Amino acid sequence: MPKKRLLTPGPTQVPEAARLSLAREVGHHRTPEFNALFAEVLDGLKYAFQTKNDVIVLASSGTGAMEAAVVNVIPRGGKAIVLNGGVFAERWAHIARAFGIEVIEHKVEWGQAVEAADVSRLLEKHPDAVAVFGTLMESSTGVVHDVKSIATVVRSTPAVFVVDAISGAGAVECRTDEWGIDVLVVGSQKALMLPPGLAFLAISEKAWRLIDRVQRQAFYFDLKLHRAKLREGPTTPWTPAHTLIGALAETLRQIRSEGLDVVLARTRTLAEAARAGIAALGMELFAARPADGMTAVRVPRDIDGAEFLQRLEARFGLKLTGGQMQLKGKIFRIAHFGLIDELDIIGALAAIEMTLHELGHPVKLGSAVAAASEVFVRQKDRR
């Protein structure tokens, strides 16, 4: 049985300190001790998300936080603009329609990025749009969208900008307050280095003004109730996933100790090395605007994408992810954020080389590893 090597864009590797925290005896969540821990976590999340605004913590997957953002911000019959460039961006539209919201979809070809100029034209055409829903890092395609420029466009209108940063926050640059993101949605199982089970919303004053005007459409996901409980404890209205919150305290301490800018710089270097290795093998990137947090690669035409991934896992324990929906069998995806380090990337590239060779695809063994190593050496010399 090979050692497991997890390099997927979620769930991701969990640090030892967080795993040990999860092994502790379970305590009670309505105590001064939990309130103090929760206050520390909220402060750490604000640092990680680069915001001074309220951060709501939900016991849910990221999709739960997406639903909370939709139903609290837009009333039934309201209008939403959805910037659709992949599986997860499309989810905004599915959620909105489920709650009787009119959806104006702006679709871009998968692998391409949304242009801020197109968003500007959409808002001019639909001045009654309550919100624009976008994505920071579309993990189904490996694209990072120019959220900073899009936020600038939306900020000058009455609409709020809601961003799915479930996989992107902590992996790519995201300055929530500085850029003018009104609702940032994040999940625990990505760059925050936790198991799945927690989701977060950072909410601006502009967004709260809208939320305060919307007639209640949620119970568990009522963000006004969550805000009220923040003022009380801080605590949560419902039973929190307090064991996960304890583990989150550990990962946030790690991020803060290293420094967010250092974390992001390391992730950029890992991305550069991974792509240098892929290029050395003659393979193509899928994303026109690749995200630092992950790399999506086109599967060579002479290779069966499913068999390729199965062999990687069976022989090397290397877990990568393939494409979804129309990209199934056509791409594979490598994450390089969180705990992933230089040797993880070099090992993954070596495994990719050998597996391609076994499947009869022409490769020069060692070429990807050499290309990635050169990136790492170059970056070390610069420091």
Q: What is the reported pTM? A: 0.96
pLDDT higher than threshold 90 for residue 381: no
C-alpha–C-alpha distance, residues 304 and 317, integer Å: 19
pLDDT higher than threshold 90 for residue 213: yes
Report strand pairing: 102-107 vs 54-58: unpaired
Report the candidate in 335, 330, 342 with the shortest Cα–Cα distance to residue 318: 335
Report the candidate in 49, 43, 36 with the shortest Cα–Cα distance to residue 204: 49
pLDDT higher than threshold 80 for residue 184: yes
Residue written as tokens 């070429």? Answer: 367
Report strand pairing: 331-335 vs 294-298: antiparallel
- Tokens of residue 27, six digits: 């305590």
pLDDT digits 0-9 by tens, 25-68? 999 999 999 999 999 999 999 999 999 999 999 999 999 999 99
Confidence grade of residue 1 (pLDDT, cut at 50, 70, 90): confident
pLDDT of residue 31: 94
Report the candidate in 131, 205, 132, 200 with the shortest Cα–Cα distance to residue 170: 200
pLDDT higher than threshold 70 for residue 383: no
Beta bridge partners of 103: 80
Specify the amino acid at residue 364: K
pLDDT of residue 257: 98
pLDDT higher than threshold 80 for residue 380: no
Confidence grade of residue 241 (pLDDT, cut at 50, 70, 90): very high
- Tokens of residue 95, six digits: 């959620």
Confidence grade of residue 155 (pLDDT, cut at 50, 70, 90): very high
pLDDT digits 0-9 by tens, 319-359? 999 999 999 999 999 999 999 999 999 999 999 999 999 99
Cβ atoms of residues 348 and 294 within 8 Å:
no
Report the candidate in 129, 38, 33 with the shortest Cα–Cα distance to residue 78: 129
C-alpha–C-alpha distance, residues 68 and 65, integer Å: 5
pLDDT higher than threshold 70 for residue 188: yes
Report strand pairing: 294-298 vs 199-203: unpaired
Give ∠ CA 262-263-265 in degrees, rounded to 5. 60
Q: What percent of the chain has pLDDT over 90?
A: 98
Q: What percent of the chain has pLDDT over 70?
A: 99
C-alpha–C-alpha distance, residues 80 and 279, integer Å: 39
Mean pLDDT, the chain, as a whole number?
97
